[in-house]
Structure formats: C-alpha cells, structure tokens
C-alpha cells in the first residue's frame, strides 16, 4: 500500500519531527517544562526507539513508557508458575515466542526446553489447538498472556477446542486489561503525565470510547495512534497541541482500523468465554477486575484449575521493571542496565520482551 510509503518517508518524517518540536517548544514557553507523554503500548515504545524518534525528540518532549508490555507487567510468581508447567510429565507447553527467554527465578522456558521438556513456540493460539488435536495422548497447555488485542484469540482457541471436543487442551490465563491499570496508575499519582498515546491495536478491539474515562474522570487528553514513524509523530503532535490549548479530548488518529465501539465480534466472543478476575501486576500488586479468566462453564479448558503448580517465593533481584512499567524511571536509572543486565543475560522481562522498554533502550538508545 502506498499509504505505508508515506508513513515511512524520510522527508515526511523529518518535517513531522520539526512540527512536533515546534509545538513542544510552545508548550515549554507556556509551562517552563517539557510536556510529559506516556506511550501506553510496548509496541509504541519499541517503534519510538527503533525509528530514532524518541532520541530526536528527547530535548523537547518527555516520552515515558507505560504498562503496555504484557510479559513485563506479569508478576514474577506468575512467570515462575508458567515456567514450572514445563516440567509436567506428558505435557506439551505452547507459547508466544516472547515468553521463551523471560527470566524465571530459577530458569527460563529456553532452559526448560534444553533440559528436554517439550516447549513449542506457536504463531497463534489456534495453532496450539491443532497440536492438541494431533497429540491426543499428551496434555497441551497454551500460555495465555496478553492484553485486549490477544484475548479474543484465546477465545478463538477455546472455541475451536470446544468444537473439536478436546479433553487434552487448556490455557494458562494471565491476561491484562488496559483501563484498570491506567486508572490505578492515575489514582496512585506515581507517574505524572500530561497525556497519553493510546495503544492502536488494543483499541481495534476495545474501541475509541473505552478511553473516554480519561477525559471525563481525569481531565487528561489521549490520542489513539498507529505504529509507523509518521503516525507516531502525528499522534504526538496532536497531543502536544491539545496540551498547549488546554484541551482534553480523546482523538482517534488511527481511524483506518479503530472504530468508536471497537470490534463487536471480538467483544462478544470475550464475553462468551471469559469473566473478570483480579490480577497481580509486577510492581503494582493486585488490581481488581484487571484481567479475564475462563468462566466456570469452561473450567475444563482452564490450566489453572487442571494443574497444580506450586512455586517457591520468587528470587529477589535489583531489577526495577516494576518502576519502569509504572513510568517512574527510565531503564538507565536501573543499576543493572547494560552491566549485570543485557539482552544476552537478562535479569528482568523488560530486557527480553520484544516490547520491553529496557530492550528498546539497550538496542536503540544506548549512549556509548
């Protein structure tokens, strides 16, 4: 699509950067400080770093990463439990690739596989159902980790397993929802932000109106934006302009795929299979109704109910992923960043996930 060429055109990117800087300077004149914007989504964090935009804007806009990397926000005990599942006899553990190198307190899934356990990376949760169909003598467990973008796909997997009447398939649910964590962050006042860049692909499912609470209850603006360089810049510009003008609206800058109400089929499928649950978040503790789990009716597909995994208390480290996902510190403020913790030897999930803030800073923003 030629649309893509526009969004990645170096000339357009350059003039878009200037546009954002000029707007940010107006804000600075008005407020004697930089505008502080949180990009909620981990894929935005990665895209900002990879494209060089975050570095280009660093003197004019304070962009802070938020709680939008599903692996990073999952608390250590839940990660250890998921890795613990790999040791079950006659079990095939299926996962998104992102989970493989995430450090558990004692080992990672890569270690578990090296030790001879059957751990497989799948592209889609539905693929794990096919694996269960082909291996009726084995238990097949999928690690169901993710936000609203991914949760409908977990519903699809359960639907398929149900249609195939599989008895050997289940999902270990540790899902997370965007609205409750944003509310928690704002209520705690831990991260001081002027506005939000809102996650484009979560919004495809949940819709523009799922963010109206930001303006209505917190008086903060937000812009739903895409992932290409010019889209990131256009979203940032609109947000900074709103801040300069003292406006607080939710602007949908990704209308080509995000509708007012989101995707109705995905929402109805989520309603069919799942119900709200309190979830533990890294560094934030339990947040009420901040995730979804399988309804009682579908308990046979719930790995958490079928398998008893007990894990010792997580090993304590100096990792500050908890503060990073709350937007309280930048990776460079962690004493381990680039020293004890690197992508080859990660200490926390933020350094290995493809959406992790530490990984983004290490790969694209490190100053030699």
Partner 1 sequence: MCIGVPAEVLEISGEEARVDVMGAGMTAGIVFVPEVKVGDFVLLHAGQAMAVIDRTYAEESIAEWRRVLNGRDEFLY
Kindly state whether residue 319 participates in binding ligand SF4, applying the rule CB under 6 A. Answer: yes
Alpha-carbon distance of 280 to 19, in angstroms, equals: 40
Closer by beta carbon to partner 1, 174 or else 336: 174
CB of 43 to partner 1, least distance (A): 5
Query: Which neighbouring-strand residues pair with 74?
Result: 281
CB of 242 to partner 1, least distance (A): 7
Alpha-carbon distance of 331 to 327, in angstroms, equals: 10
Closer by beta carbon to partner 1, 336 or else 349: 349
CB of 109 to partner 1, least distance (A): 15
SS (H, E, C) 147-169: CCCCHHHHHHHHHHHHHCCCCCE
Among 10, 29, 32, 123, binds partner 1 (CB under 8 A): 123
Alpha-carbon distance of 298 to 228, in angstroms, equals: 39
Sheet strand arrangement including 36-39: 62-65, 36-39, 195-199, 222-225, 250-252
Residues 6 or more apart whose CB falls under 8 angstroms from that of 301 comprise 158, 161, 162, 169, 170, 171, 294
Kindly state whether residue 64 participates in binding ligand SF4, applying the rule CB under 6 A. Answer: no
Binders in 321-360 for ligand SF4, by CB under 6 A: 321, 324, 331, 334, 336-337, 341, 347-348, 350-351, 358
- Output the six-digit token pair for 126: 């539905």
Residues 6 or more apart whose CB falls under 8 angstroms from that of 29 comprise none
Residues of this chain that interact with partner 1 (CB under 8 A) are 1, 3-4, 6, 12, 15-16, 19, 41-43, 68, 70-71, 96, 98, 123-127, 145-147, 149-150, 152-153, 156, 199, 201-202, 204-205, 227, 230, 234, 237-238, 241-242, 247, 249, 251, 253, 255-259, 263, 265-266, 269, 354-355
Residues of this chain that interact with ligand SF4 (CB under 6 A) are 319-321, 324, 331, 334, 336-337, 341, 347-348, 350-351, 358
């Amino acid at each position: 699509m030629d649309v893509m060429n526009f969004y990645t055109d170096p000339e357009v990117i350059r003039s878009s950067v200037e546009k954002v800087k000029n707007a940010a300077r107006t804000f600075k004149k008005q407020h004697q400080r930089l505008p502080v914007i949180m990009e909620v989504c981990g894929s935005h964090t990665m895209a900002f770093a990879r494209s060089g935009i975050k570095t280009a804007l660093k003197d004019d806009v304070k962009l802070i990463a938020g709680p939008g990397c599903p692996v990073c926000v999952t608390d250590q005990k839940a990660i250890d439990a998921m890795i613990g599942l790999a040791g079950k006899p006659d079990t095939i553990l299926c996962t998104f690739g992102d989970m493989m190198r995430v450090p558990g307190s004692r080992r990672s899934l890569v270690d578990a596989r090296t030790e001879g356990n059957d751990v497989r990376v799948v592209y889609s949760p539905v693929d794990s159902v096919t694996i269960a169909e082909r291996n009726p003598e084995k238990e097949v467990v999928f690690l169901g980790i993710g936000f609203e973008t991914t949760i409908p796909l977990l519903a699809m997997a359960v639907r398929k397993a149900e249609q195939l009447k599989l008895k050997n398939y289940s999902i270990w649910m540790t899902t997370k929802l965007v609205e409750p964590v944003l509310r928690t962050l704002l209520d705690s006042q831990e991260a001081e932000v002027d506005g939000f860049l809102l996650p484009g692909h979560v919004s495809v499912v949940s819709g523009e109106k799922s963010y109206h609470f930001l303006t209505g209850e917190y008086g903060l603006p937000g812009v739903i934006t895409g992932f290409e360089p010019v889209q990131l810049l256009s979203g940032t510009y609109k947000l900074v302009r709103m801040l300069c003008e003292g406006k607080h609206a939710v602007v949908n800058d990704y209308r080509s795929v995000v509708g007012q109400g989101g995707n109705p089929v995905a929402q109805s499928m989520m309603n069919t299979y799942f119900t709200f649950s309190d979830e533990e978040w890294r560094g934030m503790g339990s947040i009420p109704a901040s995730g979804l789990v399988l309804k009682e009716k579908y308990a046979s597909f719930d790995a958490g109910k079928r398998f008893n995994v007990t894990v010792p208390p997580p090993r304590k480290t100096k990792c500050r992923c908890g503060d990073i996902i709350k937007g309280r510190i930048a990776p460079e403020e962690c004493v381990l960043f680039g020293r004890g913790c690197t992508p080859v030897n990660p200490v926390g999930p933020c350094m290995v996930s493809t959406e992790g803030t530490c990984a983004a800073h290490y790969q694209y923003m490190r100053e030699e």
